[in-house]
Amino acid sequence: MVSILLLEDEHYTRRFLKKLVSENPFVDQVIDTSSSQEAISLARQHKPSIVLLDIELAPEEELNGIQVAKNIYDFSSETYFVFITGYAQYAIESFAVHPYDYILKPVKKDRVNEVISSLADKVKRKQDAGSSPEKMMFKAGNEIFMIAPGEILFIEKRDKVSLIHTGGNVYRVQQTLGELEEKLGDNFSRVHRSFIVNLNKVSRIEEVSNRSYEIGFAGYGKTALMSRYKFKEYKHRFTPL
pLDDT in tens, the chain (241 residues): 789 999 999 999 999 999 999 998 889 999 999 999 999 999 999 999 999 999 888 888 989 898 999 899 888 878 899 988 876 555 545 555 667 788 888 888 999 998 898 888 888 777 765 554 567 778 777 778 888 888 899 999 998 899 999 988 899 988 889 888 877 877 888 999 999 999 888 888 888 887 789 999 988 999 999 998 888 776 665 544 4
12 with 126, same domain: the answer is: yes
Same-domain check for residues 118 and 34: yes
Do 141 and 123 lie in one domain? The reply is: no
Boundary-marking domain end, from 99, 130, 161: 130
**Do 209 and 149 belong together in one domain?**
yes
Contact 172, 158 (CB under 8 A): no
Are 40 and 87 within 8 A, CB to CB? no
Provide the whole-model pTM.
0.55
Q: What is the CATH number of the domain that holds 74?
A: 3.40.50.2300
CA-based torsion, 98, 101, 107, 109: positive or negative: negative
Say what the pLDDT of residue 153 is: 95
Counts of helices then strands in the chain (DSSP H, E): 7, 15
Do 16 and 37 lie in a common domain?
yes
Which of 104, 130, 156 corresponds to the end of one domain?
130
Domain count of the fold of the chain: 2
Together in a domain, 156 and 99: no
Give the residue from 105, 130, 155 where a domain finishes.
130
What DSSP line would sit under 150-175, residue for residue? GGEEEEEEETTEEEEEESS-EEEESS
User: Are 156 and 86 found together in one domain?
Assistant: no
144 shares its domain with 57 = no
- Which helix (DSSP H) or strand (DSSP E) does residue 199 occupy? none
Q: How far apart are CA 38 and CA 44, in angstroms?
A: 10
CB 125 within 8 A of CB 117: no
Assess whether 56 and 159 both reside in one domain.
no
Whether residue 147 is found in the same domain as residue 210: yes
Full residue range of the structural domain in which residue 217 is found: 136-237
User: What CATH number is given to the structural domain containing 223?
Assistant: 2.40.50.1020
Based on the fold, state whether residues 7 and 82 are members of the same structural domain.
Answer: yes
- Taking CA atoms, 145 is separated from 136, 172, 173, 222, in Å, by 8, 10, 9, 21
pLDDT of residue 240: 45
Alpha carbon of residue 137 to chain centroid: 25
Give the separation between CA 159 and CA 118, rounded to whole angstroms.
32
pLDDT of residue 49: 92
User: What's the CA gap between 140 and 165, in Å, rounded?
Assistant: 14
Tell me, what's the pLDDT at 109?
92
Residues 106 and 211 in one domain: no
- Estimate the crossing angle of helix 109-130 against helix 11-22, to 10 degrees: 50
